[in-house]
Amino acid sequence: MLIRSLDSQLRWLSLLLFLLIALISLLPSLRLLTEAVTSVSFTASSPLSDVLSSERTWRALKNSFYTSSLGTLIAVLLGSGFAFIVSLTNIRRRPLWVFCFMLPMMIPPQVTALSWLQLFGPASPLLNTFGIAPALGSANPMYSAEGIALLLGIQSAPLVFLALRTQLMNLPQDMVEAARMASASQFRIWIDIIVPLSRSALVAGAALAFVSSLGNFGIPAMLGIPINYLVLPTLIYQQMAGFGEDILSEVAGLSMIIALLVLAGMLLQQWLQQRSQYALIGHTTQPIFFDLKKARMPTEFALGMVLSFILVIPLIGLIISSFVPALGMPLNSNTFTLNAYVEMVSNQGSTARAFVNSGMLAFFTAMVLMLVCLPLGYLLMRLPMRVRSVVASLIEVPYAIPGIVLAIAFILLFAKPLPIINVSLYGTLGIIFLAYLSCFLSVCLKPVMTAMSLLDASLEEAAQLAGANSIQRLMHIILPLTAPAFFAGGLLVFLISINELTVSALLWSAGNETLGVLIFNLDESGDSVLASAISVLVVLLVASLMALLSLLAPRLPKGIIPWHD
């Protein structure tokens, strides 16, 4: 019925696109569920009972809850603090503060972990440069559960910031003015008006931070594996290094545990949001605004200190580490060297290969999704609201579940050669490419659909009356008007996928390394100086792409670029 209502030119395209959604969004998840369910048996020798009875599983589950919960608390404190100050006060250079606070979320987690590792401990080039490094043999404090939680909190704080800032910018100023006329103090305004009205957004941000921390692989891998502190994603990674005919069933069971935890977290978020939501009726469009007056400069200084601690100083430590011959040496005129960069460019075949692989994967993922999302968004906007919501939810499933779980699903799906054509994708860039398409489809689709929802329907109706068919309307009306959002979605996909680690950590093979995998492997093998040099270039690439997106922001619908008003 839905397909029949479309123009004949779009019927075949709609069938093809919905088939694509089923293949890359539903099929991997169903394959994972099938593998986990078929191993359900409570006999002593079943894979599922081995997983559930293993002490390592419960210890990893306990560690996951501890680090994710503590990381969520840190994320809420950082994210809400920045959101309240940046959104509700008259601090200067607001876009710059938002840009800098969003940067840690866009930097790959393995780069974040590496920069903090280079900052502390007796081998820290930064501390040795200033002569304040701890004594040799001292433990690096980042190799701990609390170190993992700290970085998870910093990585997830922008999620809390984004969720809360959107709500805060819509709070009405007239409620505050009424409270002030009633002689309410600033504290009472804060407690009785601002906090209750923003509570649902704070709950949503906290849930997102917890789910993100639960599925994070890069930070727990680099900080936890060296001390044998395992969480569920790193336990799956280590299990995959083992052998045995039941290994895929076991990791499928572990993956389903994470997936169920993520699902429970999202359901809890929705329940808490419903209980803590307030409705505003008839308010003005003027947002709440507080004049800091003499407190503005101290507030800006405090924000600068926090950003220096979570972003600037670790990056400085990473840069210094890339300019010394070896860790543990101070940076001075005698030790300064570009050997790591020369080695990276001229002598390391794996480095060039990783840059090419990541660049190709990111480029083709972005291009294919851009080509898919334009007609897909056009079709979805013409579906009934309920059907559209169901399809959109199915598209978001691969992005919502942890990347390590998605990787296991694709391994199960493509471990054997494809039927009929007898071609094997396992161990090739092809399987990573398909996993990226599945994971990042929703990232590219959301900006396009947001832009399409703001278009005036009369434009297309006029073209239809003039005899233009669906394809002509799509290419000559929809595409030009949504081109900035179309391009922004592709850039967001490129930005995220070029540094991706969690999915590719289990899907890569020799000769098919990605940048994220290369940095992780170099640090594991002890070549941290070269890993630092590559990480510096990755940070520059991320910052440049974010700046490019910021230049596009004035031409985009509000909310498409997360760090721009």
pLDDT at 560: 61
As a residue count, the chain comes to 565
Residue 23 CA to residue 46 CA, distance in Å, equals: 30
Are 328 and 410 members of one domain? no
User: Looking at the structure, do residues 129 and 33 belong to the same domain, yes or no?
Assistant: no
Q: Could you write out the three-class secondary structure of 354-418?
A: HHHHHHHHHHHHHHHHHHHHHHHHHHHCCCCHHHHHHHHHHHHHHHHCCHHHHHHHHHHHHCCCC
Tell me, rounded to whole angstroms, the distance of Cα 175 from its chain centroid.
35
Shared domain for 410 and 530, answered yes or no, is yes
Instruction: Kindly state whether residues 397 and 297 are assigned to the same domain.
Output: no
What is the structure's pLDDT at 174? 66
pTM listed for this prediction: 0.80
Domain with 259 in it: 49-337
Please report, as a single letter, which amino acid is at residue 416.
K
Element (H, E) at 494: helix 479-497
pLDDT value, residue 5? 44
The residue from 337, 363, 381 where one domain ends is: 337
The reply to whether 154 falls in a domain is yes
Task: Answer for the pair 312, 306: CB distance below 8 angstroms, yes or no.
Answer: no
Asked whether residue 43 is assigned to any structural domain, the reply reads no
Q: By C-alpha distance, which of 206, 226, 216, 205 is closest to 258?
A: 216
CATH of the domain at 462: 1.10.3720.10
Q: What angle do the packed helices 403-414 and 232-240 form, to 10 degrees? A: 30
Whether residues 14 and 141 share a domain: the answer is no
Is residue 93 a part of any domain in this protein? yes
Can you give the pLDDT of all 565 residues of the chain as single tens digits?
A: 444 445 555 666 666 767 777 777 777 777 777 766 665 555 555 556 666 667 888 898 899 989 999 999 999 999 888 888 888 888 888 888 888 888 887 788 888 888 888 888 787 888 888 878 777 777 888 889 999 999 999 988 888 888 787 777 666 666 666 766 776 666 677 777 777 777 777 887 888 888 888 888 888 988 998 888 989 888 888 877 665 555 666 677 777 777 777 777 666 666 665 555 555 554 445 556 667 778 788 888 988 898 888 888 888 888 888 888 877 778 888 888 888 888 877 766 777 888 888 889 989 998 888 888 888 887 777 777 777 777 777 777 777 777 777 888 888 788 777 777 777 777 788 888 988 988 888 888 877 777 777 676 777 677 777 767 667 777 777 777 777 777 777 877 887 888 777 788 778 887 788 888 888 888 877 778 888 888 888 888 888 887 877 777 777 666 566 666 5
Q: Which pLDDT belongs to residue 145?
A: 92
Do 378 and 322 share a structural domain? no
Domain boundary among 282, 312, 337: 337
Which residues, other chains included, contact 287 with Cβ-Cβ below 8 Å and sequence gap of 6+? 87, 88, 168, 169, 170, 171, 172, 173
Flag whether 448 is in a domain. Answer: yes
Last residue of a domain, one of 279, 314, 337: 337
324 and 418 fall within a common domain: no
Number of domains in the chain: 2
Rounded Cα distance, 451 and 471, in Å: 18
Which three-class secondary structure state does DSSP give residue 186? helix
Residue 345 lies in a domain: no
Residue type, 373: C
Residue 509 lies in a domain: yes
DSSP H helical segments within 183-246, as ranges? 186-189, 195-215, 218-224, 232-240
Same domain? For 488 and 376 the reply is yes
Is residue 128 in some structural domain?
Answer: yes
d(CA 278, CA 339): 59
144 SS3 class: coil
Instruction: Tell me if 343 is assigned to some domain.
Output: no
Count CB atoms within 10 A of the CB of residue 540. 10
Residues 286 and 355 in one domain: no
Contact indicator for 350, 518 with CB cutoff of 8 Å:
yes
3-class secondary-structure state, position 479: helix
Cα maximum dimension of the chain: 80
72 and 174 in a single domain? The answer is yes
Phi, psi of 89 (to 5 degrees): -120, 175
Pair (456, 322) in one structural domain: no
Query: For the residues of 309-362, what is the DSSP string, one character each?
Result: IIIIHHHHHHHHHHTSSSTTPPPSTTT---HHHHIIIII-HHHHHHHHHHHHHH
Residue 379 and residue 239 share a domain: no
